[in-house]
Structure 1
Amino acid sequence: MKNWSNIFVFLFLLNINLFGQDGISGYVHIEDPQRWGQTVYLSQIQLEENTNTYNTTTIASTLLTKDGFFAFDKNLFTSKDHIYKVQLNPISAEEKNKLSDKIKNFQLFILSKKDTIHFTKGERMFGEYTTNNTADLEWQKLKQFEAKYENLTDDFDPRQYLIETKGYVKDSLQILLVKLIGIKKLDDQNLLEKDAKANPEYYLSFLKELKSSELDPSTYAYLENKLNFITQEIVNHKYKVSLWVNGATSLVIILLIGFILKSRRTKKVLAPIPLSKQEKAVKNLIISGKSNKEIANELFISLSTVKTHITNIYSKLNISSRQDLLLKK
C-alpha cells in the first residue's frame, strides 16, 4: 500500500512538472471539424509599417488531441516579451476562402519564457484565456479601448481618433511593447506620419526609451526606420526654409542699401548747398572767362579771397575744375 502511495505521489509531481513546462496550453473549439486541419501553429510576430497585417514567422506546431487540447513548451520562448500568434488553418484553400471572413482562427498575445497562458473552452475557436504576463494584461486593456473604433463608419473622425488614441497610449499605458502596439494602430490608420511630424520630440524620446530597454531591436525596427525618414524630411524642410529666409533677408538688405544710396543721391540733387552772393559773382566771372587776378580787381578783393571762393564753389557744386564749371552752367 505504501508503494502505491509513493507511486501516486511521484506521478502527481511528475504531472505538475510536465504541466509547468508548458508556456501555452488550452483548448480549441471547432464547430465543423471536417473543414479544419488538426495542427495548431505558433508564430512570432514582427510589427511592420503601413499594414493592417503582421509579419509572422512560424516557430512551432502541434497536433490537437481528440478533445481539442494543445500545448507548446516554454523552451520555445525567450526571456523577453514578444508578440506571438496561435492559429488553426482550414483543411484546404477552398475552405480557407469560404471561412476567412466568418471565423477568427487565430489569437495574438504577448508572452515570455517566464510566463504561461491557458486557453479555456468556449464558443470561439480560441476562446478566453488566462495569463500572468503583465504586458499582455495591459494589451487586453488597450484592446478594450480600441473596441469602440472597430466598426468605423462614415462619421469616423481621424483627428479625434488620433487625439484619443495617442492620449491613451501616452498616459494610460506603462509597458513599452504595448505602447508600441498602440502606436502601430495609428500607423494602420495612416495617422502616425502626420503626428510624428507635428510632435517629433515625443516620438524621438519614445524611441530613445525603446533603445535603452531590454526589448529586441527587431520589435521596434519599423518605427525607428519611419522616424529616421520623417526626421530627415524635417531637417531638409528646415534647411530649405533657412535658405529661403537667408535669401529673403539678403534681398531685403540689398534693397534697403539701394534705397539708402538712392535717397542720398536724390537728396544731393534736390537740395544742393546754395552759393553765397559773392560766390555767385565769382562763378559768373569765371564763366565769362576772367582770370583770378581779373576777378580780384573787378570785385575789389584779394587774390587769396578769390581762390577761397573758387574752392567753396567747386565743393558746393561737386566739381573740380573750371572746365567742369563751364560744362555745368
Structure 2
Amino acid sequence: MKKFILLIVFFFAIAASNAQYKFSGYVDAEFSKGTVYLSVVDDYRKISGVFPEQILNKTIPDSTGYFSFAGDNLAVENKIYRIHVDTCSESDQNTTHFTGHCPNSKEVIFIANNNDTLTLPFSFDEEMFCRVVSKNEKANAFLKIDSLKHDMRFAFGTYRSEANRKINSKKWFSILQQYGEQLQEPLAELYSYTFLSDRTQPLHAYYLEDLKNNSYYEDLLQRLIEKYPNSNYTQQYSAELASDKYLVAAIKPSDFPWWVYALAVISILSILGNFFFYKKLKKANELLPSIEESLSKQEKKVLELILEDKSNKEIASVMFVSLSTVKSHINNLYKKLNVTSREDVKNLYSN
C-alpha cells in the first residue's frame, strides 16, 4: 500500500515538473512580417496596449502566419496575459510605443496559467485574435466582455437625447457589472471594473455615485482576497477602492447650482472691497486738512492746477517756472498726499 502511495506521489511530482504552457495561433497577411509578443499584465490599468516592461517573450511567425510560445516559467495561478503583434521596426518602437498605444498593432487579452494550452485560430470570417480556444474555461472571459462593450457602444450611437443617454448609462453600467460577476472569475470582474471606473470614460461619474451605496465593490474585494490573496491585482484594487471611497466621502452634495455659490462669493468680495475702500477714503479725507497745511505755496498752486486738468507744460507757463521745477513740485506733492499719479490726486479730491 505504501509503495502504491509513493508511486502516485512520484507520478504527480513528475507531472508537475513537466507542466508547461503553450500558446499558439495565427496572424493574417498584414502582420505576417511583424513580431509577436507575449506579455504578463500585473497592472490591470495597463491591460490594453504595448508596454515593454510587461513583455516575457517574442517570436516571428512562419510563412503561414503560425506562431507559438511554450515554457514552464508562468505563474501556477491564473493571471492576465496579452499577445500582440506589431510591424514597428526597432528604431520606431521608442516613439510609437512611448504612450503604450501602437497604431500598427493588434492584440488579444486572456486569462491563463502555467498549465494551459491555448490556441488563437482565425474566426469564421478569417479575422485573427477573435477566438480563444482553451481548456481553461476562464480564458475567453475578456473577449465576452469586449463583445458586450461593443454592443453598448453600438447602442449608445442610437441615443439622440441627453436624457436617454443618462438612463442607458445606468442600464449598461449594471449590465457590465453583473455580467462580470456571472463569469465567476474576479479577474474578469476587474476587467469590467477597469472600464467602468476609468476617469476618461463618461461612466466614471456614475461609478463614483454607485460607490456610495453599492456593496458590490467590497464584495469584489473579498472575492479577490479569497481566490488571489497575495496577487498584485488584489493589492492594487484594495488601494484604489480605499482611495475612491475617500474621494467620494470628501465630495459633499450641494442643494444649489454652482452659479449661486459663485454669485455669493462675488457679492461678499464686493461688499468687503467697498467697506475697505470706504474706510481708506474716510481716513484719507480726515487727514487731508493736516496734509494740506504741510504743503508749500507753490505745491498748493500745483495741486490747484492739477485739479483743473492742466498739463505740466501748462502749469509751468502759468507759474512762470521750468518743467523740471514743476516735476519737482509734483513729486513732493505726491509724497505728502501718499499717491502715485494725477488720477489718484483727482480721485482723492473728487470724493
SS at match of 1:76: coil
How far apart are residue 84 of structure 1 and its match? 0.9
Normalising by structure 1, we get a TM-score of 0.54
Question: 1:23-75: per-residue Cα shift (whole Å, max 9, x none)?
Answer: 20122222365xx42x2111112344599758661111122222222111141
- Listed as ranges, the matches of 1:85-124 within 5 Å are 85-92=82-89, 93=92, 105-121=106-122, 123-124=126-127
SS at match of 2:72: helix
SS at match of 1:135: coil
Q: Distance in 2 between matches of 1:203 and 1:214?
A: 16
CA contact (8 A) 1:45 1:83 kept: yes
1:211 paired to 2:211: no
**Pairing partner for 2:136 from 108, 133, 136:** 133
Q: Quick one: structure 1 residues 57 and 100, their matched pair in 2 at CA, closer, same or farther if it must change by over 3 Å?
A: closer
Q: Distance in 2 between matches of 1:227 and 1:47?
A: 15
Normalising by structure 2, we get a TM-score of 0.51
Counterpart residue number, 2:23: 24
1:202 paired to 2:205: no
Counterpart residue number, 1:174: 184
SS at match of 1:105: strand
Question: 1:86-117: per-residue Cα shift (whole Å, max 9, x none)?
Answer: 111113449979x965x761111111112111
Structure 1 stretches of 5 or more lacking a match? 1-19, 239-329
- Listed as ranges, the matches of 1:160-309 within 5 Å are 160-170=171-181, 172-188=182-198, 189=201, 190=204, 191-199=206-214, 201-214=215-228, 216-233=230-247
Give the number of the structure whose alpha-carbon radius of gyration is greater: 1
Q: Quick one: structure 1 residues 215 and 84, their matched pair in 2 at CA, closer, same or farther if it must change by over 3 Å?
A: farther
By relative contact order (CA 8 Å, sep 6+), the higher-ranking structure is 1
Figure out how many residues of one structure are paired with residues of the other and give that number.
213
Counterpart residue number, 1:66: 63
- Listed as ranges, the matches of 1:152-167 within 5 Å are 152-153=156-157, 155=159, 156=165, 157-167=168-178
SS at match of 2:77: coil
- 1:186 is aligned with what amino acid? L
Question: 1:118-165: per-residue Cα shift (whole Å, max 9, x none)?
Answer: 122453343533111121244443333333023443724322222222
SS at match of 1:25: strand
Q: Quick one: structure 1 residues 218 and 158, their matched pair in 2 at CA, closer, same or farther if it must change by over 3 Å?
A: same
Structure 2 stretches of 5 or more lacking a match? 1-18, 160-164, 253-351
Question: 1:239-290: per-residue Cα shift (whole Å, max 9, x none)?
Answer: xxxxxxxxxxxxxxxxxxxxxxxxxxxxxxxxxxxxxxxxxxxxxxxxxxxx
Fraction of identical pairs, as percent: 21
- 1:131 is aligned with what amino acid? S
- 1:213 is aligned with what amino acid? K
CA RMSD, aligned part only? 3.6
Question: 1:206-227: per-residue Cα shift (whole Å, max 9, x none)?
Answer: 2122112236521233321221
CA contact (8 A) 2:110 2:141 kept: no
CA contact (8 A) 1:26 1:118 kept: yes
**Pairing partner for 2:150 from 134, 138, 147:** 147
How far apart are residue 79 of structure 1 and its match? 0.8
Q: Distance in 2 between matches of 1:216 and 1:30?
A: 42
SS at match of 1:124: coil
Q: Distance in 2 between matches of 1:181 and 1:125?
A: 21
- 1:62 is aligned with what amino acid? T
Q: Distance in 2 between matches of 1:212 and 1:63?
A: 39
Counterpart residue number, 1:41: 37
Q: Distance in 2 between matches of 1:54 and 1:218?
A: 19
